[in-house]
Structure 1
Amino acid sequence: MKQTADIPTPGLDPDLCYRAIQAKDARFDGRFFVCVSSTGIYCRPVCPARVPKRENCRFVPSAAAAEAAGFRSCLRCRPEAAPGTPAWVGTAASVSRALRLIDEGALDEGKLDDLAQRLGMGERQLRRLFLAHVGAGPQSVAANRRLLTAKQLISDTRLPLAEVAYAAGYRSLRRFNDAIRQAYGVAPGEIRRASETASGGGIIMRLGYRPPFDWERLVTYLAGRAMPGVESVTQKRYARSFRLDGVSGTLTVAPAKKGHALEARVAVAGAGAGAALPMRRIAARLRRLFDLDADPSAIAAAFRGDPLIGPRLARVKGLRVPGAFDGFELAIRAVLGQQISVKGATTIAGRIVAKFGEPIDSGEEGITHLFPAPRRLADADFAGLGLTGGRISTLKSLAAAVASGALDFSPRETLEAKIAELTALPGIGEWTAHYVALRALGEPDAFPASDLGLRKAAGGGAPVATKELELLSQDWRPWRGYAALALWTL
């Protein structure tokens, strides 16, 4: 029998999809959804309910496509808990970037034309790409993501329903109530009463992924680069302070006890307890930090025949690219790491946090500060911290550009455009720009070809030339970032 791992994501093969739901194969959770005509409900491939008859099944690439076709979300398998869309849908890089912007709320208040312009295309072209690769238009996708976030917060937290509405991206309670009733046939309060999950001392969210997932290797990488005072990483959990949309607090993430998911607990600091939590943005950032939307089976299959990368990925299952919760923080860390050791850069980062960060009473051991805001570092006096004059100038220029809005850490229309935007800043070269694009933006094709470690690994110990590695890497597209991680760590 043909392995279900060979199912292509954009062009769904109905027969192979049906085999996947018969097997309840978690590797395909979120890659497609099954719409059941006899019930009017759509489900995940791993739904515990009895497998429907083949003639009653229609397969779509996204929850938004199922909603657009008039199907209701299953209350049993809970599509809101499914992994997200894979980081690359075929070659539709623009769709992937648009999805990341939608996750950050680009269409909650903004117009579709504004989103299209940020991606360097027209509205009509953007709609066409979404229909081809996602099965629904951008605005339908945004509405579906608001709905699924709201459903998860209703079921898994004890947030007041008014706070759930705003945390999910709704701008009025009426729209929130109408959306829930239309999607589930009941009021939000009835869903809340039917759920039994208690959130204890914080807000808990489950973040699904496709197995396999090498948690140990990922947190080992993050632990070696953890920002002192801001992050605390062990083999069992990742914790950090955060500040987002005027709300500050702490996050703790660990593998869930059941299922293929991480469990994130969000605790708000006292001063921000009355503010609306941007839960959808927090979830999107955590998914990027832990690379939860990757499809490791598909990535490994793409490298299977490559003599350099293939054997590495065959030895280690579920490799993920460690991302970043905050792009500005990661960019500062990348500048500090230019031409010095990881340990040296971490030490200086800790000095910057201690001197310029805002103290926070986190209740978590090792977490003492919020990372300094861009304006604070733009005006900071870095003397005595062990930095060269050139490095100080780069840090201040970077911070000033972010503080003024001239630079942000959202995707541009192409990877090349973002690299050009970053390298326009003094002291930011190709290596730093690609590293930031890979980890802060989740660009899976970013590849710092000038990196000495990559060049040595590619040459078996003797470094190859940058141009030679750049040429070799063309065969690894669109997943050169995973090739870089394999060369760095395996």
Structure 2
Amino acid sequence: MRGANPHLAGMDMDFEACRRAFLTRDPRFDGRIFGAVRTTGIYCRPICPARTPKAENMTFFLTAAACQEAGYRPCLRCRPESSPDLGAWRGTSNTVSRALALIEGGALDAGDVDALASRLGVGERQLRRLFRQHLGASPVAVAQTRRVLLAKQLIQETLLPMGEVALASGFGSVRRFNETFQQLFGRPPGTLRRSHAEEASAAAGGITVRLPYRAPYDWAAMIGFLGARAIPGVEQVSPRRYARTLSVDGALGLVSVSPGPGDFLVAEIRFPKVQALPAVIARIRRVFDLTADPALIGDHLSQDPALAPLVAARPGLRAPGAWDGFELAVRAILGQQITVTAARGLAAKLVEAYGARLDDPFAASLGLIRAFPTPERLVGQDIAALGMPKARGAALEALARTVAADPAIFTPRADLESAVAALKALPGVGEWTAQYIALRELREPDAFPQADIGLLRGMADETGVRPTPAELLVRAEAWRPWRAYAAQHLWAADADQLSKTTTVSRTAEAKRIKTDADNQRAA
């Protein structure tokens, strides 16, 4: 297919603008476009240090998958697998966004495009058309490109044996892995390993990978959000690291995430099965919201005078995701009508009573000894005995029973409305909880729990009068399709305000105590 189109291979792309981005090595376009060279058969990022080819030899694509489907291979110098994986198509086609989330979670590893389309409520032909329109590649090509680029990253950043790289990157067999690399690069995969891989490999027993993002990134806000909700024994949070236990397909492991020296996070992954690696990486990317384009989102939200100063104060704010749908739903139900701190305490009791124990000395050295309970473990249990209302305990047990019977219930649906409706059918889940789950687990960028007290406080007028949930919902229409990020800005501002109020109150109380003590001494 290479050379079929002499200039552009994507919708809404201007050749001269793309060309200028490559000539100036403009980092703003990294992850947005890729340039392929017909004379070499290689595709690159805009920031590639190699000499820019002649214009007549270049073709521009929207995605790496489109480049590879057209017959080009990734550059070994600029490493396209290291570019930010932007969700720029979000808001244009939420169906594509949801499909990509499912593909990243392995939907095409064990299924076909028809099954994927059915899960999204569209026809197979329509899904293929949407992928062509917005990504310039088919769903299968996207899945294959993800496997190839992950494998290439593991080869160049770790010392994993080639057989384990094949399994860890999602290839069904080592033979298929070798054939793909021979066809794509014209050489065996082992020849791509760099001599300094030892320096980039993980600590003993683990794998270290770099996960890029589009700058800026508000790490402090992300770690603050996760830290306030961290469950003892499951999660351990410090200013420069987030670590937790995790269960994937019955295997227990450990992940640790910290900010890197560049525009990437560093993830250290310790799992007994390398086959779990793609799913673990997908979860890390989801939780830390690494596909967001903060400039695109911020420009849209800044059009509202109330949000503009919030966006300016936190330009790199992300919407934290969830590690597991069932865990998030349990946490949300535990947190109904109580504080975040109280909900965290109840979650700790739940984990201590029913969570599987992790047998890993390294994890234990961090205080991480248990995994969050599975739905099957909570079925038939008297959860209320842990210290909560009987109705709430019964709701959690019923939720566990429902999810155990249908593990796919926390997967993207055809649209936000149908996802919320399905979630509200779960025991103990109302509108607020459903929207919250859609925001953090389903990664719906337009989810919006309009009745949340923090959002209502954040939109109070100068006299302190808060809008009603219905009034806030009307106001939020202008924030579509990024209402989830608007909610995150309002929550962050509300947390800052509460912190300031608490500090002022404590200062005033300290002054009062000191004054009383001085008066007593004077008397």
Q: After superposition, what is the alpha-carbon deviation per residue over 1:145-187, rounded to whole angstroms, capped at 9, x for unaligned?
A: 1111111112212222112112211112111111111222210
- Give distance in 1, aligned partners of 2:107 and 2:37: 31
- Give distance in 2, aligned partners of 1:222 and 1:438: 15
Higher mean Cα deviation, 312-321 or 24-33?
A: 24-33
User: Which structure has the higher relative contact order (CA within 8 Å, separation 6+)?
Assistant: 1
1:63/1:79 contact within 8 Å kept: yes
Aligned position for 2:469: 466
- Give distance in 2, aligned partners of 1:419 and 1:359: 33
- Of residues 485, 488, 501, the one that matches 1:482 is 485
- Correspondences of 1:9-408 after superposition (within 5 Å): 11-86=12-87, 88-192=89-193, 196=197, 197-201=200-204, 202-257=206-261, 259-268=262-271, 273=272, 275-360=273-358, 361=360, 362-405=363-406, 407-408=408-409
1:89/1:133 contact within 8 Å kept: no
- Give distance in 1, aligned partners of 2:27 and 2:215: 7
Q: After superposition, what is the alpha-carbon deviation per residue over 1:123-148, rounded to whole angstroms, capped at 9, x for unaligned?
A: 11000000000000111111111111
Change (3 A) 1:83 1:10: farther
Report the aligned-residue RMSD: 1.7
Q: After superposition, what is the alpha-carbon deviation per residue over 1:364-383, rounded to whole angstroms, capped at 9, x for unaligned?
A: 42312111111111232224
2:392/2:428 contact within 8 Å kept: yes
Matching residue's letter, 1:330:
L
- Give distance in 2, aligned partners of 1:349 and 1:486: 26
Change (3 A) 1:349 1:388: same
1:127/1:137 contact within 8 Å kept: yes
SS at match of 1:408: helix
SS at match of 1:359: coil
1:28/1:210 contact within 8 Å kept: no
Aligned position for 2:451: 450
Give the deviation of 1:427 after TM superposition.
1.7
Matching residue's letter, 2:468:
A
Matching residue's letter, 1:285:
R
SS at match of 2:132: helix
2:384/2:394 contact within 8 Å kept: no
1:26/1:211 contact within 8 Å kept: no
Aligned position for 1:4: none
- Give distance in 1, aligned partners of 2:283 and 2:291: 11
Aligned position for 1:438: 439
Aligned position for 2:500: none
1:240/1:252 contact within 8 Å kept: yes
- Give distance in 1, aligned partners of 2:344 and 2:418: 29
1:291/1:320 contact within 8 Å kept: yes
The alignment's TM-score, normalised by the length of structure 1, stands at 0.93
Higher mean Cα deviation, 405-414 or 88-97?
A: 405-414
Q: Deviation above 6 Å: which 4+ runs of structure 1? A: none
SS at match of 2:155: helix
Change (3 A) 1:168 1:406: closer
Change (3 A) 1:253 1:135: same
Give the deviation of 1:39 after TM superposition.
2.1
Give the deviation of 1:485 after TM superposition.
0.6
Give the deviation of 1:50 after TM superposition.
2.5
SS at match of 2:222: helix
Change (3 A) 1:477 1:88: farther
Give the deviation of 1:458 after TM superposition.
1.5
Matching residue's letter, 1:166:
L
1:38/1:56 contact within 8 Å kept: yes
Aligned position for 1:426: 427
1:31/1:86 contact within 8 Å kept: no
1:87/1:444 contact within 8 Å kept: no
Aligned-residue sequence identity (percent) comes to 49
5+ unaligned residues in a row in structure 1: which ranges? 1-8
Change (3 A) 1:42 1:407: closer
Matching residue's letter, 1:439:
R
* Rg larger for: 2
SS at match of 1:367: coil
2:383/2:396 contact within 8 Å kept: no
- Give distance in 1, aligned partners of 2:402 and 2:132: 36
- Give distance in 2, aligned partners of 1:319 and 1:21: 28
Q: After superposition, what is the alpha-carbon deviation per residue over 1:272-308, rounded to whole angstroms, capped at 9, x for unaligned?
A: x3x3432111111111100000000111111222112
SS at match of 1:86: coil
2:151/2:166 contact within 8 Å kept: yes
SS at match of 1:358: coil
Change (3 A) 1:27 1:254: farther
- Give distance in 1, aligned partners of 2:74 and 2:259: 26
- Give distance in 2, aligned partners of 1:192 and 1:255: 25
